[in-house]
Amino acid sequence: MSTVATQEEAIALQLAYKPNELRAAMVGVIHSALASPEEFWPDDQTFDNVPADSRNAIGNGFKTLYRAKLIEQTGAWRNSRVAAQKGRRVWAWRLKSVKLAETFLKRNGEVPMKGQMEFPVVTSI
């Protein structure tokens, strides 16, 4: 984990768009949804594939999948079972379409967390 010198740097890191982390969070959500398509809870997932300094990508991943109509809320809620988040309310989700979820995984699969892909340098044309 990196050390941030100022509060402004910390805020900038949290607000930066992180496509690899967002995709990793969405892949994790879809894997959970496929494992229990009737109902799954966000706090039952560990999201080990998302770096600790990019945890805000998890909520964005849920919202993105919801807007894309891959998942939906069931209306059920409970208090979080995570010890560090006592009192936090979490909502149950369900998968809307297995075929869409499988297509999403085929297109997004496992995401390398090494940052942005580098392109080869062309020295001549």
Domain boundaries, the chain: 7-108
| Residue owning tokens 């109509």 | 69
β partners of residue 91: 77
Return the pLDDT at 113: 45
Query: 72-88: b or e for each residue (b if 16 or more CB lie within 10 Å)?
Result: eeeeeeeebeeeeeeee
Q: Return the closest-CA partner of residue 79 out of 94, 91, 61.
A: 91
pLDDT in 10s for each residue of the chain, 125 residues: 556 668 887 777 667 777 888 898 999 999 999 998 789 999 888 888 888 878 888 889 999 999 999 999 999 999 988 887 778 899 999 999 988 898 899 888 754 444 555 556 666 66
C-alpha neighbours within 13 Å on the C-beta side of residue 52 = 3
- CA separation for the pair 67, 71 (Å, rounded): 8
Contact predicate 104/26, CB 8 Å: yes
pTM exceeds cut of 0.85: no
CATH of 7-108, one of 1.10.3470, 1.10.10, 2.60.40, 3.40.50: 1.10.10
